[in-house]
Amino acid sequence: MSIKMKKFFKLFLLCTIVFGTIFSFRVEALAKEVKPKPPSYQTVTEIEDWGAMITKVIVNLGRSIPVKSVTTHTFKVHVTRVDNRLANPLLEKGYRTVTNAYVADKKGNPSRKSGNYVVFEMEIGPSISLGSPMNFDIDSFTNSWIHSKYVITQQKDIVTPRGKISGLIIDTYSGGSINLVDEFSTGKSTYGDITLTYADFKPTKDHQKNPLIIWLHGGGEGGTDPTIPIAANKAANFSSSSIQSYFGGAYVLAPQTPTYWMDGSREENGSSKYEGALMNLITNYVAQNKDIDLKRIYIGGNSNGGYMTMRMIQRFPRFFAAAFPTCEALRDTLISNRDIQRMKDVPIWFVAAKTDTIVPVNDFVVPTYNRLIDAGAKNVHLSLFDNVIDTSGLYKKEDGTPYEYDGHWSWIYVYNNEVSKFINNKKITLMKWLSNQSLSH
């Protein structure tokens, strides 16, 4: 063999070794890239009439399975609820009832052929606490997010073209979503020595002026996490397309007090130490969002927030285009005749229920409403419900009649826009009425 041939042969062998090494590394890298991740789960939380509920878990199996390869009996779903604020953190544990199961895409949408994800829809209801990601602590009188630990255990084999899948135990949490609440931003505002947190929703920019809806939470939603006031009950629904459609897009501002709106009140005048801080937050927010319509700023709130709503329209009657206090907690005896004169020209729609034992209507809203009417108020209304019941038809008592909520919870009718009356011989809902209100100046 010639010297040239030997050199060529050596070079060929060297190239072969180098190429083989590179190729083997590449194969190993590809193998690592396609190696399936361990199964994990995500939670989906929705805000129901009575509060937040985990309605679904979405399991990422890390491998593709055929449609119809899972049923409600393929897995068991167990949850442990823990509130670390408590001396005894364990609230409860048990199996959730799976009502539907299907193969899905990453977003939880049902797949047509196959998919790497399985969605488990679970039973919910106003008396089913296992699904709640929140807890109300009676000692601190506050709601808070809690820790819900899920374990999804396989009970039956899943048959795939590549073989059977069995024995899976999925307990790795990979995140979650909260319907509507995730569309809100959060912030804080300081006035003197008081800091208020808030959640806010901004409509799509449309080169037009947009109204602002301000909602003030009840007594149990204070603190420093402003997602709680919009998730502990259904206040996040002000951002829903059904309500936004009445306003052509509206800002929603949900301020949160560190304690409760009535804090600092004095029995002789029903004041609050948060009045200045709240107005400072509102005016700053309006200044920062130039497309807010200054003639269409609306304020409402439930219970403690209804109390603060009344205080704000007493102090600033020409700032708000309308108010919608719900089960408002400002006792009528704390409202002077001068206050009535200041409020009588503000469009107001009161909402309450006769079965409310927390703020009995005959001590609060009814006499105040009557005094406003007697003072000549032209655009003040009262929707006084007999009680507060489920109107969806989904939840019933044992006798088959609609499930009945605490009479204080009349805010449910407001969030669902189920408050209406005939005005000028035409039936109009609360949200439609609200959207029509505008300052004349």
Alpha-carbon separation of residue 385 from 146, 154, 204, 434 (angstroms): 33, 48, 35, 19
Do 253 and 282 fall into the same domain? yes
Binned at pLDDT 50, 70 and 90, residue 34 comes out as very low
- Do 65 and 101 fall within a single domain? yes
Give the lowest-confidence range in 24-33, 40-49, 71-80, 236-245: 24-33
Q: How confident is the model at residue 4 (pLDDT cuts 50, 70, 90)?
A: very low
Give the pLDDT band (50/70/90) at residue 29.
very low
Mean pLDDT of 69-85: 97
Within a domain: 2: no
Q: Are residues 240 and 361 in the same domain?
A: yes
Print the domain residue range for 388: 184-436
At residue 6, the 3 state secondary structure works out as: helix
CA distances from 44 to 121, 173, 180, 285, 431 (A): 9, 12, 11, 31, 28
- Residue 201 sits in the same domain as residue 346: yes
Q: What is the pLDDT of residues 120-160, one digit of tens each?
A: 999 999 999 999 999 999 999 999 999 999 999 999 999 99
| Mean pLDDT to the nearest integer, 204-220 | 95
Task: Please say if the pLDDT value at position 225 is more than 50.
Answer: yes
Query: In sequence order, what are the beta bridge partners of 252?
Result: 201, 213
Residue range 371-400, pLDDT digits in tens: 999 999 999 999 999 999 999 999 999 999
Spatial neighbors of 16 by CB under 8 A, at least 6 apart, are none
219 and 269 part of one domain: yes
Out of 120, 144, 178, a domain closes at: 178
The SS3 of residue 388 is strand
Q: Are residues 216 and 126 in the same domain?
A: no
Q: Which of 178, 195, 220 is the last residue of a domain?
A: 178
Cross-strand bridge partners of residue 254 = 199
In a domain, 26, yes or no: no
Q: What three-state secondary structure class fits 239?
A: helix
Instruction: Decide if 299 is inside a domain.
Output: yes
In a domain, 22, yes or no: no
* All residues at 6 or more sequence positions from 289 whose CB lies less than 8 Å from its CB, including other chains: 202, 212, 251
Same domain, 399 and 293: yes
Confidence category of residue 269, pLDDT binned at 50, 70, 90: low
Checking if the pLDDT of 25 tops 70, the result is no
> How many structural domains are present in the chain?
2
Query: pTM for this one?
Result: 0.90
Bridge partners for 385 per DSSP: 353
Residue 6 lies in a domain: no
Cβ neighbour number for residue 160 with a 10 Å cutoff: 15
At residue 6, does pLDDT exceed 60?
Answer: no
Q: What's the CATH code of the domain at 251?
A: 3.40.50.1820
* Pairing mode of beta strands 173-178, 40-48: parallel
* 98 shares its domain with 215: no
> Does 356 score more than 80 pLDDT?
yes
What CA–CA distance (Å, rounded) separates 44 from 108? Answer: 9
Percentage above 90 pLDDT, the chain: 88
| pLDDT at res. 264 | 84
Q: What is the CATH number of the domain that holds 110?
A: 2.60.40.2180
Q: Are residues 370 and 312 in the same domain?
A: yes
Model confidence pLDDT, tens digit, residues 38-74:
899 999 999 999 999 999 999 999 999 999 999 999 9
Same domain assignment for residues 151 and 215: no
- Of 136, 159, 178, which residue sits at a domain end? 178
pLDDT (mean) for 254-258: 98
Q: For residue 263, is it within any domain?
A: yes
Name the pLDDT band for 37 (thresholds 50, 70, 90): confident
Residue 398, H or E segment: none
Average pLDDT of the segment spanning 173-181: 97
Would you say residue 27 has pLDDT above 60?
no
Helices (H), 236-375: 241-247, 275-288, 304-315, 337-343, 365-374
Helix 304-315 and helix 275-288: axis angle, to 10°?
80
Residue 404 lies in a domain: yes
Radius of gyration of the chain (CA): 29
Do 349 and 365 lie in one domain? The reply is: yes
Identify the pLDDT of residue 3: 47
Q: Look up residue 14 and give its amino acid.
A: L
In a domain, 5, yes or no: no
Mean pLDDT score of the chain, rounded to an integer? 92
Residues 334 and 228 in one domain: yes
Q: Which helix (H) or strand (E) holds 90?
A: strand 90-96
DSSP bridge partners of 176: 43
The predicted-structure confidence for 99-129, as pLDDT tens digits, reads as follows 999 999 999 999 999 999 999 999 999 999 9
Contact call for residues 173 and 60 (beta carbons, < 8 A): no
